[in-house]
Amino acid sequence: MRLFIAVAILCAGAASAALFYEGMQRFADLPEAGPALTATQAPDSARDGVAVTGSISSGARADEAGAGNATTGENGLTLRRSDARIRVNGTLPDLDLVNLFRETAHERFPTLAFESGLRADPDLDPGIVEAGIAGLIALSRLAEGEARIADGIIAVEGEALYAQTQESLMRGLDGRIPQGWEMQLTITEPALPEIPDIAMCQAEISEKLAGEPIIFASGETGLDNDAAPLMDALAVLVDECAPAPVQIGGHTDSDGPAEINLRLSQERADSVRGALIARGIDAARLTAVGYGETEPLVPNDSDANKARNRRIELLIIE
Query: pLDDT tens digits, residue range 175-199?
Result: 888 889 998 989 888 776 666 788 9
CB environment 275-301: b (16+ within 10 A), e (fewer): bbbbbbbbeebbebbbbbbeebeeebe
- Higher-pLDDT residue of 100 and 25 is 100
Q: Are 48 and 125 in contact (CB under 8 A)?
A: no
Predicted local confidence at residue 153, as pLDDT? 93
Residue 172 has pLDDT above 90, yes or no: no
- Kindly indicate the confidence band of residue 7, based on its pLDDT and cuts at 50, 70 and 90: very low
Q: Give me the mean pLDDT over the 70-95 stretch.
A: 83
Whether residue 61 has pLDDT greater than 90: no
- Residue-level pLDDT at 33: 34
The residue-averaged pLDDT of 151-163 equals 87
Confidence of residue 19 (pLDDT cuts 50, 70, 90): very low
- The answer to whether the CB of 50 falls within 8 A of the CB of 189 is yes
Quick one: DSSP state of residue 180?
Answer: T
pTM comes to 0.47
What span, in angstroms and rounded, lies between the C-alpha atoms of 35 and 27?
18
Residue 194, pLDDT score: 67
Q: What is the pLDDT of residues 246-288, one digit of tens each?
A: 999 999 999 999 999 999 999 999 999 999 999 999 999 999 9
Of the candidates 87, 77, 91, 93, the residue with the CA atom closest to the CA atom of residue 113: 87
Structural domains of the chain in order of their starting residue, each with its CATH number: 33-190 (3.40.1520.20), 198-316 (3.30.1330.60)
- Regarding beta strands 49-57 and 77-81, do their DSSP bridges make them parallel or antiparallel, or are they unpaired? unpaired
Is the pLDDT at 54 greater than 70? The verdict is no
DSSP-based three-state secondary structure for 279: coil
Which of 15-19, 107-111, 160-164, 311-315 has the highest mean predicted lDDT (pLDDT)? 311-315
